[in-house]
Structure 1
Amino acid sequence: MAEFDFLDATRDSYDALAEPYAEAFGGLDLDNRPLDRALYGVFAELVTEAGGGRVADVGCGPGWLTDALVGMGLDAFGVDLSPGMVALARRTYPALRFEVGSMLSLDLEDGALGGVLAAYSIIHVPWELRPALFAEFHRVLAPGGHLMLVFQVGDEHSERTEAFGQAVRLHWYRQRPEELGELLTAAGFDVLTTAVRRAREGEKAPQGYVIGRRNSPVQRNDSPK
């Protein structure tokens, strides 16, 4: 697949899947996912304790997690590559803000955010593009801002050509928490929390979570000695 061809394929696939995807999964119930709820809560607390600021839910899909973050007291908005998903999120949560955009090139100024959540969205980005992706997250986060990644754990790369009766072209890349930690460290993050839980019924792989904090810039001392 050409370097950025996956963006068009992913966008078109989720445009086709927006309505059946939302109908099939029926929203997000964190009350039935206590570990997930606790970890998202940790992320929200870290963002708040660091001074707050806007939080981008990148790859927000139908907007369920954006709404959950707002419910935790965060100034959250959603960004998704798929206009179809963004339109659905806007209809479902008209009081919230959703934008069309690519997480590899966010329409945000440097240091504009207090937090970035990427829940099951880096899974469509080719492994070799992760350094560029994490550099972009680093760029848009203020020093001390927090990043949370959620993903399926493993080493597999797979492609799906049909879902919910629709023709699609979606690539999935599973992730290793330790490898993500190394990549985030190289991109200028301190890794604060790493967790893995066993697969629940209906899940095909363990689920991984990494929370990091953007390093503060190095302070120079130019005073005369």
Structure 2
Amino acid sequence: MSTQEQDIERLEQRLRHAAAELEAQHLPLGEPTEDWRRHLAFLNEREDTRFALLVPTRPRLEELLAYDQDDATFIEAFYHHLLGRESDPEGSAYYLRETAAFGRLFVLSSLLQAAPAQAHIHRQGIHLPPILRRLTRLHAMANRGSGAMNRLQMAAFWRLLRAWDKLKRRRWANTASLYRLLARNSAASQTRQVIANALLEIDQRQQALTERQQHEYARQGSLWQQVAELRRQTLSTPGGGEVGAPHVPAPPTDDDGAPSATALDAYYLAFEDAFRGEETQISDHLERYRDTWTRARQAGRRALDLGCGRGEWLRLLTQAGFEAHGIDLNTTMVAHCQAQGFAVEYQDALAALKHQADNSHALISGFHIAEHLPFEALFQLIAEAHRVLAPGGVLILETPNPENLIVASYSFYHDLTHRNPLTPPTLGFLYQFHGFQAVETRRFNPPPESTRIDAQDPAAERLDRLLMAPMDYAIIGTKDAPHRDTQGDPQRDSQGKESEQ
């Protein structure tokens, strides 16, 4: 093996390792700078709004009596605020009976004498209302009496509290309800702030992650270009031997002076990166066909992608359970897909279809290849696809949409290998001519809002519709699909169903 071939092999190993490393990474790639998880966990620990206090360390008498709540909630609340724990069944049953017999003021002043309550209040730095502290002392003094005197003191204390409770209960309920509402509003405001901070940190982390992914994909693209360059140097060196000096700046050429196929492959890979978008963006777009591949999956497992490019669609089909294989005429992209483990060959689309058996595939796709073909080749490709598809199988062809004025007159010609735009009715009619049924047109990728014309007159509105039309469309057809009644559907025309995404 020559030194040049060894260099290529080492570089390809580096590229496969980089691709495997990127594929194995799980999001997020690292911990956020700020612990937003802690902020979000805080929301789960927020106290029940039924027990909300406007100032938890300085509760008001009206809030603790909680006459805006029922007796059971009152008991749960004083366990929560004054004992620092949840109520137990036996304790709840006891205090429910005490509340029904003597009232909430009696029960509250009685509970505050307990050692656990005193310890919790001291530990949390809670300042009780002065009136409640005085009632607690009176209750304690009444309890310290003995015999008949004790009974008289307790009865008098009980009657005092009952009379005061009856006089003030409605006012206390209204005040407690007002304080509770203010506390809930304060808690809601704090919650919104916590969520806003957490979302901001997540967004910043996502932005950093996106930049990291773009860097990794750019690094892979650079490595593939190096592979193409080394191959090009090998082809341009007599006998494919070792190259002792850097390659000259001029691109390699065939005998007739035209650029070599390898040079064009390297150019087209760079063009895809610059104009078509990142692989993740393409994958997100292809997810819109999920309902289509789900339907096709009912017709079988085999899928063929014509012009598979970097393999985004093959990855989705494989994840969906298809036995997916692809073809492409770009050697660099074929190597890229093979390095990811996909079954991809260097082959012409029409030749690949002619080698497939009748009724052998559930799905055939071609994303942005139709506009590269002369009419005769496109005609045969659709005919062969119909032959190869199993009943119920689906053909997808996606192409730039000339209904968009900017696409038709300008951006279509960025790619110098494009022949001519194809209108949706023309491509749809080709499907129907070759026997496809349920022919559907889907339009994708609206242009940026900056393209829109801010004007109200009819001429400007008409021009605006041409400028804002989706920039791509797909024709989807099914072989031997059941007949669908289109009568009364305003979104169907003679071509079939039309949709815009």
Residues 88 and 22 of structure 1, relative CA distance in 2, 3 Å threshold = farther
Deviation at 1:42? 1.7
Cα displacement string for residues 90-114 of structure 1 (whole angstroms, at most 9, x for unaligned residues): 12x12x2111211112132222211
Cα separation, 1, equivalents of 2:437 and 2:371: 21
Stretch of structure 1 that moved more, 109-118 or 19-28: 19-28
Q: Match for residue 219 of structure 1?
A: none
Q: Match for residue 122 of structure 1?
A: 370
Cα separation, 2, equivalents of 1:211 and 1:133: 14
Cα separation, 2, equivalents of 1:113 and 1:74: 10
Q: Match for residue 478 of structure 2?
A: 213
Q: Which has the larger radius of gyration?
A: 2
Alignment of 1:177-192 (within 5 A): 177-192=424-439
Deviation at 1:127? 3.1
Q: Secondary structure at the match of 2:349?
A: coil
Q: Match for residue 49 of structure 1?
A: 298
Alignment of 1:133-152 (within 5 A): 133-152=381-400
Cα displacement string for residues 39-65 of structure 1 (whole angstroms, at most 9, x for unaligned residues): x10221111123x22101111011111
Q: Secondary structure at the match of 2:391?
A: strand
Cα separation, 2, equivalents of 1:183 and 1:198: 24
Q: Match for residue 329 of structure 2?
A: 81
Q: Match for residue 166 of structure 1?
A: none
Deviation at 1:215? 2.6
State the one-letter code of the partner of 1:207: D
Deviation at 1:14? 5.3
Contact 2:298 2:392 in 1 (8 A): no
Cα displacement string for residues 6-38 of structure 1 (whole angstroms, at most 9, x for unaligned residues): xxx9x76752335424644331335754xx522
Give the percent of matched residue pairs that are identical in Structure 1 and Structure 2: 26
More helix by share: 2
Deviation at 1:139? 2.1
Alignment of 1:161-200 (within 5 A): 170-200=417-447
Q: Normalising by the residue count of structure 2, what TM-score does the alignment of the two structures yield?
A: 0.35
Q: Does residue 100 of the first structure (1) align with residue 335 of the second (2)? A: no
Deviation at 1:193? 2.2
Cα separation, 2, equivalents of 1:124 and 1:13: 19
Residues 59 and 15 of structure 1, relative CA distance in 2, 3 Å threshold = same
Q: Match for residue 31 of structure 2?
A: none
Contact 1:181 1:191 in 2 (8 A): no
Cα displacement string for residues 72-94 of structure 1 (whole angstroms, at most 9, x for unaligned residues): 33221211122222112212x12
Cα separation, 2, equivalents of 1:191 and 1:14: 39
Contact 2:428 2:439 in 1 (8 A): no
- 1:112 paired residue among 360, 365, 368: 360
Q: Secondary structure at the match of 2:314?
A: helix
Stretch of structure 1 that moved more, 23-32 or 177-186: 23-32
Cα separation, 1, equivalents of 2:364 and 2:327: 10
Q: Secondary structure at the match of 1:73?
A: coil
Higher relative contact order (CA 8 A, sep 6+): 1
Deviation at 1:123? 1.6
Cα separation, 1, equivalents of 2:283 and 2:336: 23
Q: Normalising by the residue count of structure 1, what TM-score does the alignment of the two structures yield?
A: 0.73
Cα separation, 1, equivalents of 2:377 and 2:272: 28
Contact 2:282 2:312 in 1 (8 A): no
Cα separation, 2, equivalents of 1:206 and 1:19: 22
- 2:278 paired residue among 11, 26, 43: 26
Contact 1:138 1:188 in 2 (8 A): yes
Q: Which runs of 5+ in 2 are unaligned?
A: 1-258, 452-466, 482-501
Cα separation, 2, equivalents of 1:62 and 1:188: 31
Cα separation, 2, equivalents of 1:124 and 1:214: 24
Contact 2:397 2:474 in 1 (8 A): yes
Q: Does residue 62 of the first structure (1) align with residue 310 of the second (2)? A: yes
> RMSD of the TM alignment (CA)?
3.1
Residues 178 and 187 of structure 1, relative CA distance in 2, 3 Å threshold = same
Q: Secondary structure at the match of 1:41?
A: helix
More strand by share: 1
Cα displacement string for residues 115-157 of structure 1 (whole angstroms, at most 9, x for unaligned residues): 1011111120123432211112112212221111111112859
Q: Which runs of 5+ in 1 are unaligned?
A: 1-8, 164-168, 217-225
Deviation at 1:171? 2.4
Residues 61 and 30 of structure 1, relative CA distance in 2, 3 Å threshold = closer
Residues 199 and 14 of structure 1, relative CA distance in 2, 3 Å threshold = farther
Q: Secondary structure at the match of 2:478?
A: strand
Q: Does residue 17 of the first structure (1) align with residue 261 of the second (2)? A: no
